[in-house]
Amino acid sequence: MDPDEQEKRLAWKYLDCSNLVDERDRRVDWPWFRQQLLQTPYPANMDAVFTVLNNLGTGNSNHYDEEARVCLMGVPAARDQELP
């Protein structure tokens, strides 16, 4: 499940995973998830966290590996910025 050369370039070019905005076939909608974390204070944003965890499933690390492959930084890429 190693990323190919293009995926590696995209991962480093788009650390915030903004290149995935139009990819709706992902298990995790990373741009949506970051928006939820930035706009909704804790603990109200836990619904978004549980949504992501449910989408990833339990006991199958392949799902986690796949999402890490396409969005290397995932949640850590969330930064304090104004969203459109």
pLDDT in tens, 10-22: 777 877 777 777 7
User: How many Å apart are CA 53 and CA 42, to the nearest integer?
Assistant: 17
Residue 83 covered by a domain: no
Residue 47 covered by a domain: yes
Residue 57 covered by a domain: yes
Domain extent at residue 73: 5-77
Residue 82 covered by a domain: no
Residue 59 covered by a domain: yes
pLDDT digits (tens, 9 = 90+) for 22-76: 776 778 888 888 888 888 988 999 999 899 888 887 666 777 777 777 776 665 5
Residue 64 covered by a domain: yes
Task: Enter the pTM of the model.
Answer: 0.63
Show the tokens assigned to 79: 């930064």
User: Could you tell me which residues come within 8 angstroms of residue 13 by beta carbon, excluding any fewer than 6 positions away?
Assistant: 19
Residue 84 covered by a domain: no
64 contacts 28 by C-beta, under 8 angstroms: no
Residue 53 covered by a domain: yes
> How many domains, the chain?
1
